[in-house]
Amino acid sequence: MKKRRSLLVGILSVVLLAGCGSDSSKDKTYFHYDSKDFEPILGEKVNNETYNYEGIKVNPVMNLRDDFAMGVDGSMIATVEENGGTYFNKDGVEQDVYQIMANNGVNFFRVRLWNNPMTLVGDGYGGGNVNTRKAIAMSKRAQAAGMNIMVDFHYSDFWADPDTQRAPTTWAAMNEAQVVEEVEKFTFETLTQFKNSGVNVSAIQVGNEINNGMIYPFGRIDWSNPKKGFDSVANFLKAGIKGAKAVNKDIYTVIHLANGGAKEEFDVYFSELENRNVDYDMIGVSYYPYYHGTLEALEGNLHNLANKFNKPIMIVEFAYGHTTANHEWAANIYNQNMEESGKYLTSIQGQATALVDVINILANVPNNLGLGLFYWEPAWLPVEGASWATANGQAWSEFGDGMNPSYVSRFSDGKATWSNQGLFSYDGRALPSLQTFNLVRGDQEVVEEKYIKVYEDEISLTLNLAENEQLPTTYSAITDFDAIRQAAVVWNDSEAARLDTIGEYTVTGTVNDEFSVTANVNVIQNFIKDPGYESQGETDELLAPWIIRSSTPSDDVVKLNRKPQDVRSGTSDLNWYHGSESFSFDVYQIIDNLGEGTYNLTTYIMAVSPGELAHSNLEVYFKVNDEEHTVQMKDLVIGWGTPANYYIEAKIENVYVSSNANVEIGIRGSAVAGAWGHVDDWSLVEV
């Protein structure tokens, strides 16, 4: 029997070496927590589900700050309870949900806040309908359980995120200067209501995921000419900060962006705020592993932020799925296809391990600036009425009018979209993963993480002789912590030696000295260089050998994209988009020294489906001297979804190339504002 080799996870070993810079922040305490006991608030109902609470594997995290925020955003709780949802502790006894979370180590409660999430006749938009009254009510219960409070100002009547930042209805007819005044006034008046209600707010977010601006159209950032947008955003942020500090000079203000693995995006954004003297206190980050890149990317971003801006950093949104089971009142966003990009199994243990890994990275941010984490909506149970959006809410988000019957009739009420990423079961019982907040501070014995099997016994891959590509040196394997890590793989030498000739081969290998695997290898001579945009720089600027021939109305239509949910393979693709104007683009590559022969050109495109945002032109081309061959894709693309299913093949076949011909391949398109697309995985092979 072969000896089992223990797991050495690269990212975890890296973070343990981090955080050894300046000690300037180690002695500063940002948050103080109420440790007083509370009388349990119990109910009469019981839940007889069974879970292995003792079997969850969580190792202690070293270097955690004493004031580290173990937070949750539980903004759906009130609506869940209003619609019959009940919460149970680990013993299956009905208990106040805030107390259940506090008993499991949660010390901070974040609540989102919308200006007025309902129509003039009182029909709610959904998503908890969280106005000031409701936010205060939830915050009081959280505070009674010993939690600190953070208020997340969206400055909108409904969801605000990188794609949607609609101005509140009552602000929409104002000019920008008036909106700046309203931001300060609304922030001041709202926090005053919290204060007068006995809620001590420790921190606020001045906007939610404001990557592309806030309070549209006033604060939209046009990335083709971002100065005006950043000027407006800076004015709004300053107004919100001023309003908050007028209520409590000691309140902390947080600026929050999504895409936690996007180092360049954060660097540019916070540099722009620094250039405009925005005096904020902390940086907030959204990081969902299946959306926002690898742990290494997250770590690189947080380290850069700490070293460059010297602000405390909190991951204010995080979650991971524990099941893919269906439910009548759920339409969950997280699905099985996200597991591979997320790098954890869809399980309670996988959920806990994902949480520990991210806390570990925060604990080792340079200068001790990793201040906390908030788990997003851990208690959103799938009950009827607890939807992400009603038909009215969807109409308001899309058209700015949640009452007009012609708009509302286009939609139906939604369902719960987050229940399978919660820290409670569908029926409301606390899951073993909720214990993670306590266990990372525990003194339990460290458990060695070990590989137990490979993620897939067999893989298919393509190697390009023109780029001298080799078989991978690591292979996806599953650990007993339900993580998907990269383990060393050794391939059969004699079988691998054949991979110097075009053809299809099977190569066997051994992972971690114990697991047998097979690679089905297609060896090609692909004459396109950097066919998947994997050899570009750290920024989103497209570099040689790819060339942007033209891009209107600016040079910012075409960018590299590294969001895992968008990429067909590898870590990058090419993206085109313009939010405010109709646009066109043309991107190409010159193919040098292509021998005489007949060739096929193939690539894959995922783009907005034909409709209001359709492309008027979207074609791939293969130009030989003055003769151009094209394939039109504008009516073939089908929108966004799982890359394996939504990237559509574009192929030009049997093109004859004479000796010494001038050859270009590329993609060009034209579309209205708001249209978008991605291209990935080019190949040019002789047939």
- Listed residue (327, 433, 311) closest to 55, CA to CA: 433
Backbone angles phi, psi at 554, to 5 degrees: -155, -175
Selecting among 81, 94, 209, 272, the annotated active-site residue is 209
209 is catalytic: yes
Beta bridge partners of 317: 286
DSSP string, 481-516: TSBEEEEEEEE-HHHHTTTTSSEEEEEEEEETTTEE
Compute the radius of gyration of the chain from its Cα atoms.
26
- Name the 3-class secondary structure at 222: coil
Before 217, cis peptide (omega within 30)? yes
Q: How far is CA 257 from the centre of its chain?
A: 10
Tokens of 220: 């939209």
SS3 assignment for 582-637: CEEEEEEEEECCCCCEEEEEEEEEEECCCCCCCEEEEEEEEEECCEEEEEECCCCC
Selecting among 265, 299, 317, 377, the annotated active-site residue is 317
Side chain identity, residue 324: T
DSSP string, 415-453: -BSSGGGSSB-TTSBBPGGGGHHHHTT--PPPPPPBEEE
- Listed residue (597, 595, 557) closest to 677, CA to CA: 557
Tokens of 361: 């990275």
467 is catalytic: no
- 56 neighbors 435 (Cβ within 8 angstroms): yes
- CA distances 23 to 61, 169, 302, Å, are 19, 47, 17
Cα–Cα distance, 668 to 673 (Å, whole number): 16
Beta bridge partners of 668: 586, 619
What positions carry a catalytic annotation? 209, 317
